Amino acid sequence: MAAEPAARGGSPRRPVSPEAPPCWAAARALLPGAREELRLEFGAPVGRSAALLLRRAADLLYGAGGARGPPPGLLRLSEAACDRAWERLNAAAWRAVDREWRRAFSFGCLFRALGLCRAGAASPEALRACDLGLLLGAPVLDGVLLRLAGVLQRHLPGPGAAPPPAPKKVRRGPPPPAVEPAAAVPRLRRPSLERFRDRFLAPGKPLVLQGLVDHWPCMSKWSVDYIRQVAGSRTVPVELGSRYTDQEWSQTLMTVEEFISRYIENENQVGYLAQHQLFDQIPELKQDIGVPDYCSLGKMDEDEITVNAWFGPAGTISPLHHDPQQNFLVQVMGQKYLRLYSPQHSEKLYPHEGHLLHNTSQVDVEEPDLARFPAFEEAPFQDCILSPSEVLFIPAKHWHYVRALETSFSISFWWA
């Protein structure tokens, strides 16, 4: 049997056994042809023992050739390397974690996913290893984890017959406050770039834009069932609780399928899928969106814009807060109630003291404690109900409060 050509140049690969699982050839083709091309050298922060575990795992992976079954010890070594890196990832604040440990974690996840793939058919466990590396690690080998996740997802068995849906326990929250015309955020249909810049961007005034994103594929394609079909097997971070200022609020990792089953279809619980990596992690969703044209008025290149996903049931709340950059909030599914306050009235909104929540108000916007926060009642505001295909421009530093009125999917673009 002739040796396979190398991927992206490099040495030829060993032949792949015809007895290997169907996903293995495609997965193995993502790796460099020679073990040396992995470049498993790490900076001083990564201890010698962790680096040695990864090198031994690589030796087994490349030395296995077309052998039947996984290389003996590959899973054990890769799991041990992941455990070492995981301890370091959780030993300090995220920004304090050295990038070399994140690289080591990514390689551990890569080798673990490959070992699971070589052991049998593509599995959710192997896909989860890729997702953990994507979420918590650093990019390695030209984005190999993202490409491997795509291979595994294509080879996962399709879902069987769906069981009959369980009765839903629907939580019915209070209706939104009435939006008075005098306080309503103005609406315009596709104003010119110059008009938007002069009348809203420069003076920092909110605006609901209409007709801007109607042509995006997500507007006609996306539903809860579609998201489940495209991303159900992917592991993502989920916020538990109705708002991040609640004492019981926490974060965890789960698959999109688990999130939908627990928090979308069973609305007596509250959870929110809120993360900025979703579209990089799941390209099938990214290809259905664009970037609002008006972002071209900023100084950022398109790849510098931060894109966030917000997916949750009715009743999820973003407390009154402000962000440092301009924001286009695109509503894809469901409706949301939003209230906005100008930064010139910040002293009447009672921000939390201390650095962690300095950009967040202490006031419950819809049920304010006016005995504790008497000046809040004097702060003028604008509000609106945002519907699918509408885009809300939230100027930088503008305070905003958000409540989902229905199962909702929104996308925010932070730019400057």
Specify whether 357 is located in the same domain as 281.
yes
Specify whether 390 is located in the same domain as 311.
yes
CATH number of the domain within which 291 lies: 2.60.120.650
Rounded Cα distance, 17 and 24, in Å:
9
Specify whether 249 is located in the same domain as 386.
yes
pLDDT on residue 8: 38
Which stretches of the chain score pLDDT less than 50?
1-18, 65-67, 160-172
pLDDT tens-place string over residues 223-247: 999 999 999 999 999 988 767 776 7
Specify whether 148 is located in the same domain as 213.
no
Specify whether 144 is located in the same domain as 230.
no
Residues 292 and 212 sit within 8 Å (Cβ to Cβ) = yes
Beta strands across the sheet bearing 271-275: 187-189, 207-210, 391-394, 326-333, 408-415, 306-312, 271-275, 235-240, 250-255
Instruction: Confirm whether 9 is domain-assigned.
Output: no
Instruction: Confirm whether 174 is domain-assigned.
Output: no
φ and ψ at residue 132, rounded to 5 degrees:
-60, -40
Rounded Cα distance, 134 and 148, in Å:
11
Specify whether 43 is located in the same domain as 146.
yes
Mean pLDDT in the chain?
A: 88
Instruction: Confirm whether 247 is domain-assigned.
Output: yes
Q: How many Cα atoms are found within 13 Å in the side-chain-facing hemisphere of 29? A: 12
pLDDT on residue 158: 65
Instruction: Confirm whether 127 is domain-assigned.
Output: yes
Q: Which of 137, 155, 173 is the last residue of a domain?
A: 155
Which residues constitute the domain of residue 141?
22-155
Q: From 312, 318, 234, select the one nearest 278 (Cα to Cα).
A: 234
Specify whether 149 is located in the same domain as 277.
no
Specify whether 120 is located in the same domain as 268.
no
Instruction: Confirm whether 164 is domain-assigned.
Output: no
101 Cβ contact list (under 8 Å, min separation 6):
45, 46, 85, 88, 89
Report strand pairing: 382-386 vs 271-275: unpaired
Instruction: Confirm whether 128 is domain-assigned.
Output: yes
pLDDT on residue 95: 78
The total of structural domains in the chain comes to 2
Instruction: Confirm whether 172 is domain-assigned.
Output: no
Instruction: Confirm whether 163 is domain-assigned.
Output: no
Specify whether 187 is located in the same domain as 143.
no
pLDDT on residue 356: 77
Structure tokens at 29: 């083709």
Question: How many residues does the structure list for the chain?
Answer: 416
